[in-house]
Each structure stands twice: as C-alpha cells, then as structure tokens.
C-alpha cells in the first residue's frame, strides 16, 4: 500500500535514519527525494550506482516469475532494482538492524513489497527455501569464514549466484585467497592511504573455484576492474 507519509515526514525520517549508521546507499524514493547526502565510508554519493553499472549486464532484464535473494542487502538498492525488473518475490537479508530499518522504510515509500530480514549470510538456510537468482554483492570479502559463506549461499541458490567482491589482482589460474589484516593498505602505506577492505580477497580463479566446489557447473567472469570483480555462478 502506498505510504501515507508526506514529503516533509519522509525527509525527517531520512534524517533520523542517517544519525546512527548513516546512509551507505543512495535510494531513489521518487518525488525528487533520495536518501544519501554524505559519504559514510568514502563511497560515491550515488553509491552503489557505479558498482551496479559493472554488474548490470549479468542481471536478467526481466525477473517476472523469478524469485530473488539479495544477501548483504544494506538499504535495499539491489532488491529494488530486481523489483523494478518485475520480481514480485524478493527477499533481502542484512546483518545490521539499522540497515534493515532503512530498507523497510524505503520499501514502504517506494511501495515495493520486498521482504527484508535481519539475518547473517551464515544463517540463510533458516529461510527454508531456494531462490532462482541470488545477489551476493559486496560481501564475500567481508566474510570471516569465506567457504562457509559460499556454502550457505549455494544451499539456497536454485540457479544463479551473481557474486561481486574485492578481488586479489593475481590473474593466474591458481586459486589464491589473500588474508587482509589491519596493516595492509592500498598502495604504499602512507598517511591518507586507505586500508584494504574486508578480511579475504580471492583472485578470480579462487572465486570460481569456491563456487564450483559447491556444485555450480560454470562460473563466468562478469567484470574485473582494479581491485573488484564479479562472476556469475550457474547450476
Ligand atoms: C559493502 S556493503 C555492500 C552492500 C550492498 N550489497 C551493495 O553492494 O551496495 C556490505 C553489506 O553486508 C552487510 N553484512 C556484513 N556482514 C554480513 C553478514 N555476515 N551477513 C549479512 N550481511 C552482512 C553489511 O552490514 C553491509 O550492509
């Protein structure tokens, strides 16, 4: 049901939801209103629009009749893109309650009935169902237990997982995963250099290997650019 909130009430709620975690994602709420007005972790002000641009070609244009899971959904940007493409059965799971609150507010204002749940990637089996298309975007490299995370995602994926991650630049065929600790920086370790994100950076071969180990027949690279990359794992 369309929201009964006025534009002023929507803006006030955006400000409230900005106070704690901040808006990492910029969600278009229509009426000329969007959620993000400041950087939280150094991301673009229209984040994750650029990241979406890299993976969009690997996403079905029409999700009609398909079920979709968005793991690590944050405020729901990808879930809403799936709903815009005709998906009526969309579930978004997210570890942090504050982001779930943001996502539910956006779903209400956008009038899109996405089912947002506070849940860890390691617990998605509790959904007790499978999905035709799973987005696993921007999360793999944060997972401390990288193999368990892929196993959990694979167990609920009936067909395709689109996995996007920070990627180790080694282009060999040898599957390598680099451990990241707090001493590791992008480029020379100097004032202003950003710490490498997350805990583990697989190279593209390792990303493919992790999914093949879970019974996926093919893992097609979707893009690799600098320290990021994505692959489409298919049953
Ligand atoms: C880098 S953000 C990516 C968000 C979104 N998928 C995107 O691409 O814009 C990672 C998200 O995953 C969430 N997250 C971190 N650990 C998680 C876990 N164990 N289970 C589920 N979500 C998690 C974070 O709270 C955050 O919202």
92 bridge partner residues: 70, 116
146: three-class secondary structure by DSSP: helix
Average pLDDT of the chain, as a whole number: 94
Sorted by where each starts, the structural domains of the chain and their CATH numbers stand as 58-234 (3.40.50.150)
Cα distances (angstroms) measured from residue 158 to each of 4, 48, 138? 37, 26, 21
Residue closest via CA to ligand 1's atom 20 equals: 120
Whether 166 and 198 have beta carbons less than 8 Å apart is answered as yes
pLDDT score at 194: 72
pLDDT score at 2: 77
b (16+ CB within 10 A) / e for 87-124? bebbbbbbbeeebbbbbbbbbbbbebebebbebebbeb
Say how far apart CA 137 and CA 165 lie, in whole Å.
6
Ligand 1 atom nearest to 70, measured from its CA: 6
Q: Is 95 in the pocket of ligand 1 (CB under 6 A)?
A: yes
Say how far apart CA 136 and CA 114 lie, in whole Å.
17
Angle at 93 between CA 87 and CA 94, to 5 degrees: 140
Band (97; pLDDT cuts 50, 70, 90) = very high
pLDDT score at 146: 97
Residue closest via CA to ligand 1's atom 12 equals: 72
Query: How many angstroms separate the alpha carbon of residue 72 from the centre of ligand 1?
Result: 4
pLDDT score at 1: 64
Tell me the pairing of strands 131-137 and 115-118: unpaired
pLDDT in tens, 26-48: 999 999 999 999 999 888 899 99
Q: Is 142 in the pocket of ligand 1 (CB under 6 A)?
A: yes
Whether 64 and 86 have beta carbons less than 8 Å apart is answered as yes
Query: How many angstroms separate the alpha carbon of residue 118 from the centre of ligand 1?
Result: 11
Ligand 1 atom nearest to 51, measured from its CA: 8
pLDDT score at 189: 59
pLDDT in tens, 136-148: 999 999 999 999 9
| Phi, psi of 7, deg, nearest 5 | -60, -40
163 bridge partner residues: 136, 231
pLDDT score at 116: 98
Q: Is 74 in the pocket of ligand 1 (CB under 6 A)?
A: yes
Say how far apart CA 211 and CA 39 lie, in whole Å.
33
Residue closest via CA to ligand 1's atom 27 equals: 74
Q: Around 227, how many Cα atoms within 13 Å sit in the side-chain half-sphere?
A: 14
End-to-end CA distance of the chain: 36
pLDDT score at 193: 65
Q: Would you give the DSSP letter of residue 127?
A: G
Supply the pTM of this predicted model: 0.95
Percent of the chain beyond pLDDT 70? 96
Compute the average pLDDT of residues 151-176.
Answer: 96
pLDDT in tens, 174-218: 999 999 987 776 765 556 667 788 899 999 999 999 999 999 999
Say how far apart CA 224 and CA 208 lie, in whole Å.
13
| Phi, psi of 18, deg, nearest 5 | -85, -20
Residue 224's H or E segment, with its range, is: strand 218-225
């Amino acid at each position: 049901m369309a929201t009964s909130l006025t534009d002023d009430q929507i803006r006030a709620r955006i400000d409230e939801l900005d106070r704690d975690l901040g808006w990492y994602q910029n969600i278009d709420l229509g009426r000329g209103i969007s959620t993000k007005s400041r950087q939280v972790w150094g991301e673009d002000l229209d984040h994750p629009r650029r990241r979406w641009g890299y993976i969009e070609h690997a996403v079905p244009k029409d999700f009609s009749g398909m079920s979709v899971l968005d793991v690590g959904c944050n405020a729901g940007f990808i879930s809403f893109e799936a709903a815009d493409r005709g998906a009526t059965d969309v579930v978004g799971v997210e570890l942090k309650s504050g982001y779930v609150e943001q996502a539910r507010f956006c779903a209400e204002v956008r009038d899109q009935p996405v089912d947002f749940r506070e849940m860890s990637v390691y617990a998605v089996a509790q959904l007790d169902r499978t999905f035709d298309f799973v987005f696993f975007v921007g999360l793999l490299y944060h997972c401390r237990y990288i193999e368990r995370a892929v196993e959990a995602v694979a167990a609920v994926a009936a067909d395709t997982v689109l996995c996007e991650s920070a990627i180790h630049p080694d282009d060999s065929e040898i599957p390598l995963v680099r451990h990241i600790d707090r001493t590791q920086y992008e480029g020379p370790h100097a004032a202003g250099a950003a710490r490498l994100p997350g805990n583990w950076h697989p190279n593209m071969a390792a990303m493919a290997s992790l999914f093949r180990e879970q019974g996926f027949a093919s893992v097609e690279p979707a893009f690799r650019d600098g320290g990021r990359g994505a692959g489409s794992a298919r049953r």
